[in-house]
């Protein structure tokens, strides 16, 4: 399924939003992504090892990394990586929890999700679970900065307005991550993403990366 384009026409909304694709910006953005992801993977390699051991000690079933199909630029699918923060059969248990969804829009979030492991709660609270996405950035599936890549079933529920989030390469962080995260409604989340798409430049990217580092550990809004 990876690399497949979802069956939705995102070109019908291209006139509603002007996307900045200046060659100089794209070059520097990709350069920043490569250098930043490589540096991050090297510096954080020992942390990766420790987290991997803790995940396996708590739940020997399943993998250390959680691979999930996400939607990228122009509707192209790719496999996004995370540290596994839930029990190994989490997807099978999700159906029974849908009525307890605490997020608005086509997103599932639950503060007291019973599927989350003890180490999972920690790495989610500190956003450490997102660090393997540096691999996605290095591969070019994602950028350090950009709208978060949605799930296929979420995109199927998107309106034409919300589909505009898919007009650029998705990222690890954006305005949502530094502005309240799970306390922000889906509608506000979309507005923040479209704001980034309209305004983005290399200085905004660097600013958002630095802000993300500052709020990375112990964000009360992450779950």
Q: Which residue has the higher pLDDT, 7 or 189?
A: 189
Per-residue pLDDT reduced to its tens digit, 123-178: 988 889 999 999 999 999 999 999 999 999 999 999 989 999 999 999 999 998 88
| Two tokens, residue 196 | 């980034």
Instruction: Please state, in angstroms and rounded to a whole number, the distance separating the CA atoms of residues 186 and 104.
Output: 6
Helix, strand, coil content of the chain in percent (nearest 5):
50, 10, 40
In order of 131, 155, 185, the CA distances from 105 in angstroms are: 26, 11, 8
Look at residues 106, 40, 107, 116 and name the one whose alpha carbon lies nearest to residue 83. 116
* 3 state SS of 62: coil
The 3-state secondary structure of 155-212 reads HCCCCCCHHHHHHCCCEEECCHHHCCHHHCCHHHHHHHHHHHHHHCCHHHHHHHHHHH
Tens digit of each residue's pLDDT (9 = 90 or more) over 98-126 = 666 655 566 666 666 778 888 988 998 88
Q: Whole-prediction pTM value? A: 0.80
pLDDT for residue 188 is more than 50:
yes
**Residues 31-65: tens digit of each pLDDT:** 999 999 999 999 999 999 999 999 999 888 888 99
Question: Rounded to an integer, what distance in angstroms lies between the CA atom of residue 165 and that of residue 160?
Answer: 10
Sketch the domain layout of the chain as residue ranges: 11-215
């Amino acid at each position: 399924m990876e690399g497949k384009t979802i069956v939705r026409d995102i070109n019908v909304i291209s006139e509603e939003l002007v996307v900045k694709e200046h060659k100089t910006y794209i070059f520097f953005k990709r350069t920043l992504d490569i250098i930043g992801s490589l540096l991050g993977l090297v510096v954080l390699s020992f942390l990766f090892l420790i987290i991997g051991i803790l995940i396996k000690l708590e739940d020997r079933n399943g993998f250390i990394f959680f691979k999930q199909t996400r939607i990228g630029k122009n509707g192209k699918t790719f496999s996004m990586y995370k540290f596994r923060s839930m029990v190994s059969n989490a997807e099978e248990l999700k159906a029974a929890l849908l009525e307890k969804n605490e997020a608005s829009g086509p997103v599932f979030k639950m503060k007291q999700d019973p599927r989350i492991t003890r180490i999972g709660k920690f790495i989610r609270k500190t956003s450490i679970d997102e660090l393997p996405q540096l691999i996605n950035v290095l591969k070019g599936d994602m950028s350090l900065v950009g709208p978060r890549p949605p799930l296929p079933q979420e995109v199927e529920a998107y309106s034409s307005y919300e589909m505009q989030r898919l007009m650029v390469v998705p990222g690890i962080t954006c305005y949502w991550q530094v502005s309240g995260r799970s306390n922000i409604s889906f509608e506000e989340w979309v507005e923040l993403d479209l704001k980034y798409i309209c305004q983005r430049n290399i200085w905004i990217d660097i600013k958002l990366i630095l802000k993300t580092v500052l709020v990375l550990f112990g964000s009360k809004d992450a779950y």
